[in-house]
Amino acid sequence: MMKAVYPGSFDPVTFGHLDIIQRAAKVVDELIIGVIVNKAKKSPLFTLEERVSMLKEATKEYPNVTVKMFDGMTIDFARENGARLIIRGLRAVTDFESEMQIAQTNHSLDSNIDTMFFTTSLEYSFLSSTVVKEVASYGRDTSKFVPEVVQKAFREKFQMD
């Protein structure tokens, strides 16, 4: 049985993330989405619990996908969950260098766990959680970028009608 983890801060989950989730879920028997507090990023818009809840709602149609929160290194999270793969998405060439460095570091820490990259579908290649949060902060429509559960959360956070 092939088990994989897809780690990220998912602040919030976007259609780009869901594109990767949907495609990865077809390749592996079990996909665990690992929601982490990213210490390199400034304070998130959504709490860890809100992000997990939104992801659970957005992925409920995939029976082999679960969502968990974690703290620490992705390689440890993968090992603790019996995963042999770490799934990562690449939007553009600029993502590749840092993602490759992370993948090589993880592989040096545990050679039994590999990284599989999925390139984001062209229609989502420009999309990031940061961009979507900015669009939402100005009260603009985000329906092209995020699922309804996130749109609702934006309306509540930014007190939009």
Question: Which of left, alpha, beta for 59 (phi over 0: left; psi -120 to 50: alpha)?
Answer: alpha
Q: Which residue has the tokens 């809100």?
A: 50
Annotated catalytic sites, by residue? 17, 41, 91, 129
Gap between the Cα atoms of 62 and 4, Å rounded: 14
